[in-house]
Amino acid sequence: MPFRYYLTFIDETEVGSDGGSSQIRAKSLPPLTVSQQEEEQDVLQQLVAALPERAAHLQPLAPQAPQVVNEGSRGHPDICRRPCIRMARGNCEAGRACGFCHLPHTAPKIYLNKPLREYLGSLTDSERLAVLLPHFQERLPHVAAQELLEVMHQEANANGPAGGKRGQLDQQLRRMNMAGLFGFLRANHFKGTSRIPAIAMEVLETLRVEEPTGA
């Protein structure tokens, strides 16, 4: 559909039944009492006339691949490292080599309160794994995590702890990000020997590499 610039308005022209063009006058168009300079009118008419042709050649922008800001930001926001306090103050001299996250964290970080921490700490290794395993199975359906899930299943108590604060603990674990859940698989949380801490940290780093800016 061709366009025409006239008296500061861009009008749409229609082709009439006789092959000529007919002008559709907008209801809000005021009476044509102001004349425009011919030079300005000609220039603007040329610009408007070229709009359909220019629009036909427009191409949508290709989506940009996410880029890693720095090492600590890999896996943002679900499996990245803790926010960088230097970046929060305005600048981090370590730049891309910084091991903490430089990207914004809008959601509040979820922590276990003292009663839930004490409850989790009172469980045996197998009971604690039985609590954590369903959360990992639900939120970590990744091929890189298969070995971790299998070993957790082998070492977990089949039934897990019953009653007590189990329901409250599960509710808080569902709200935590994956980095927080992986924290419970560190060696300092185990009372005995286990393969899980080493496997878990290896899986976490693999996920951060494969999903550099989003988990």
Residue 67, domain member (yes or no): no
State residue 158's pLDDT score.
78
Q: Taking the CB of residue 189, how many other CB atoms lie within 10 A of it?
A: 16
In the block, residue with structure tokens 């019953």: 162
pLDDT at 82 over 70: yes
Q: Tell me which residue of 196, 181, 134, 192 sits closest to 160, measured CA to CA.
A: 134
Residue 138, domain member (yes or no): yes
Report pLDDT digits (tens) over 91-110: 999 999 999 999 999 888 89
Residue 21 parent element (H or E): strand 21-23
Q: Which residue has the higher pLDDT, 60 or 168?
A: 168
Q: Which of 93-102, 143-152, 162-171, 180-189 has the lowest mean pLDDT?
A: 162-171
Integer Cα distance of 86 and 98 in angstroms: 10
Residue 13, strand partner residues? 23
161 — pLDDT class (breaks 50, 70, 90): confident
Q: CB pairs under 8 A, 24+ apart, for 179-183?
A: 179/75, 179/78, 179/79, 179/80, 179/81, 179/204, 180/109, 180/110, 180/111, 181/132, 181/135, 181/136, 181/139, 182/79
Domain of 7 in residue numbering reads as 3-26+34-54
Q: Are residues 197 and 117 in the same domain?
A: yes
Q: Are residues 114 and 22 in the same domain?
A: no
Integer Cα distance of 117 and 168 in angstroms: 11
Residue 78, domain member (yes or no): no
Count of helix runs (H) and strand runs (E) in the chain:
9, 3
Q: How many domains does the chain have?
A: 2
Report pLDDT digits (tens) over 193-207: 999 999 999 999 999
In the block, residue with structure tokens 């990245």: 80
Report pLDDT digits (tens) over 173-184: 999 999 999 999
